[in-house]
Amino acid sequence: MNDQNFSRREGEVIELLLQGKSNKQMAAALGVSNRTVEFHLSNIYTKLGVASRTEAVLKLSASRLRESAGKAALETLRDSAVEKGGENAENRGVQIQRRRQPMKSIFRFALTGTLVFIVLLAWAFLANLRARNRPAEESLTPTPTATPGAVYQRLSPTVIVKDGILLEASGHLTCTELTFNLNGTFPEGFAGQFPNNEIPPLVNDLALTASADGIPLELEGFGGGGGSGETGDFEILGQGAAYRLRTPLEEGQPLHVIALVTFNDYLGIPEPIAFELDLWAEHCALPAYEYLPPDALRTASGIEIVVTPRLSQSTLTIDLEARGPRTAIEDELRERPTELYVYTDLQIEFPDPARAFDFQFFGGGGGGPGEGETFQMQQGSSYRILSPLRVGETIPVILWVTFDPFTGITEPVPFVFDLTVLP
């Protein structure tokens, strides 16, 4: 893990990440803002070469296991060397004396050993006899709930691992709504064992309870869904459910959530697993942004962001511009004056697979924020088109944009376009 040259602060964030802490819990533990935590996480993802929290946990956990195995082997060698060295030092130059054991003592020891052997033999015979007479139902293997460690490994209250599959629970809470998400990260090629290379849903059943300040809250489910994709050497499958709170919360009020998940049979986890999350109500007064279809939005702090894509037969360019009052970015400018971005991640999705095309990233850049009472920033990415396209044809695309923490937008935002191919 040291190969990535993490800073001291990034190392602290990594420790909290592996403990399953949320961004808000990290911010409280480190005494920094939630946006600063998101910034450090973005840098950690970049250094690890991953695109999500789940991938980061999986990669960091594997690194820790390798380090632990190496240290254990070293300690074993060291202890072995010390023991052998001690024996040589103790006997070097010292005459070892031998004493003759009287025959009476030898006979006494032999008799005692024979009696012990007879007792043990009788005990083994009786135990075997009881096992044969025991009813069939008593001889069954204990249920997995008695030995959950043999079925899966729990990394934190929100993360478990089984046979190289990482299952991670997360949630999001406003004053009136709760969203529970479960993501599965699978080894590359895992989907090949299923029809149409589609991994079945993760969850067969979900029982969710929530309490605020020790008082249970009534929940009303109103939706759910899922999706899949690939990233790096992993295959990702997500599934989620949304609930309304019958009793609204206040801004910043904590909520303790216990989700009892019964997994699909192919995961090989027969007993329900409990995931525990501590969430805080946020964005209660105002939404994080106002969507201005199809290509713009306005954040709660007054920042306007415009997305401009352009598609030709050879290239796809996507430019984003952010502008607004300088007061909206002052805190972030003080913490990282040269490291502000309009966005930190950009994903391209094709809602119509029949009209999808292959592409390859080959460059990007940006500028800003400039001086004065207002700021203006630009950032763009360029992609080389690898599939033949016809001039004039229209291709629908969805651009999923993850914005820089200074915008106050914590979730990826979709922008839907019908792009016409230009010469």
Q: Mark whether 236 and 335 lie in a shared domain.
A: no
Q: Is residue 98 a part of any domain in this protein?
A: no
Among the listed ranges 166-170, 177-181, 405-409, which one has the minimum average pLDDT value? 405-409
> Is 129's pLDDT higher than 50?
no
The residue whose two tokens read 């808000």 is 24
| Cα-based distances in Å from 274 to 145, 226, 238, 260, 303 | 12, 20, 17, 4, 40
> Is 79's pLDDT higher than 90?
no
| Domain-terminating residue out of 229, 259, 280 | 280
Provide mean pLDDT across the span 60-87. 53
Q: Mark whether 323 and 362 lie in a shared domain.
A: yes
| Domain-terminating residue out of 280, 301, 326 | 280
Q: Is residue 95 a part of any domain in this protein?
A: no
- CA-nearest of 88, 7, 70 to 44 is 7
Q: What is the pLDDT of residue 232?
A: 65
Provide mean pLDDT across the span 111-125. 47
Q: CA 330 to CA 347: how far, in whole Å?
A: 28
Domain harbouring 308, CATH code: 2.60.40
Q: Mark whether 267 and 313 lie in a shared domain.
A: no
Provide mean pLDDT across the span 313-317. 95
Helices assigned H by DSSP within 134-248: none
More confident residue, 370 or 66: 370
Confidence label for 188 from pLDDT (cuts 50, 70 and 90) = confident
Q: Mark whether 377 and 348 lie in a shared domain.
A: yes
Mean pLDDT of the chain: 77
Q: Mark whether 131 and 228 lie in a shared domain.
A: no
List, for residues 1-37, the tens digit of each pLDDT value: 544 678 888 888 888 888 878 888 888 888 877 777 8
> Is 81's pLDDT higher than 90?
no
Q: Is 156 helix (H, G, I), strand (E, B) or coil?
A: strand
Among the listed ranges 84-93, 219-228, 411-420, which one has the minimum average pLDDT value? 84-93
Q: Mark whether 312 and 415 lie in a shared domain.
A: yes
Confidence label for 69 from pLDDT (cuts 50, 70 and 90) = low
Domain harbouring 82, CATH code: 1.10.10.10
Q: Is residue 144 a part of any domain in this protein?
A: no
Q: Directed axis angle between helix 34-48 and helix 53-91, to 10°?
A: 70
Apex 80 CA angle, 76 and 86, nearest 5: 145
Q: Is residue 145 a part of any domain in this protein?
A: no
Q: Mark whether 131 and 154 lie in a shared domain.
A: no
Contact 194, 222 (CB under 8 A): no
Q: What is the pLDDT of residue 423?
A: 92
Q: CA 37 to CA 21: how far, in whole Å?
A: 11
> Is 197's pLDDT higher than 90?
no
Confidence label for 318 from pLDDT (cuts 50, 70 and 90) = very high
Provide mean pLDDT across the span 348-356. 89
Q: Is residue 332 a part of any domain in this protein?
A: yes
Q: CA 324 to CA 339: how far, in whole Å?
A: 18
Of all residues in the chain, the percent with pLDDT exceeding 70 is 76
Q: Mark whether 217 and 113 lie in a shared domain.
A: no
Q: Is residue 385 a part of any domain in this protein?
A: yes
Q: Is 145 helix (H, G, I), strand (E, B) or coil?
A: helix
By residue range, what is the domain housing residue 107?
103-139
List, for residues 244-295, the tens digit of each pLDDT value: 888 888 888 999 999 999 999 999 998 999 999 999 987 666 567 787 877 8
> How many domains is the chain built from?
4
- CA-nearest of 406, 267, 278 to 344 is 406
Max Cα separation, the chain?
Answer: 108
Confidence label for 103 from pLDDT (cuts 50, 70 and 90) = very low
Q: What is the pLDDT of residue 351?
A: 85
End-to-end CA distance of the chain: 47
More confident residue, 129 or 298: 298
Q: CA 233 to CA 55: how far, in whole Å?
A: 10
Q: Mark whether 294 and 397 lie in a shared domain.
A: yes
Q: Mark whether 212 and 235 lie in a shared domain.
A: yes
Sign of CA dihedral 248, 250, 256, 259: positive
Q: Is residue 91 a part of any domain in this protein?
A: no
- The three-state (H, E, C) secondary structure of 261-301, written as one string: EEECHHHCCCCCEEEEEEEECCCCCCCCEEEECCCEEEECC
> Is 40's pLDDT higher than 80?
yes
Q: Mark whether 258 and 303 lie in a shared domain.
A: no
Confidence label for 383 from pLDDT (cuts 50, 70 and 90) = very high
Provide mean pLDDT across the span 177-188. 89
More confident residue, 327 or 234: 327
Q: Is residue 208 a part of any domain in this protein?
A: yes
Q: What is the pLDDT of residue 422?
A: 95
Domain harbouring 254, CATH code: 2.60.40.10
- CA-nearest of 70, 274, 59 to 164 is 59
Q: Mark whether 349 and 236 lie in a shared domain.
A: no
Beta carbons within 10 angstroms of residue 380's beta carbon: 20
> Is 354's pLDDT higher than 80?
yes
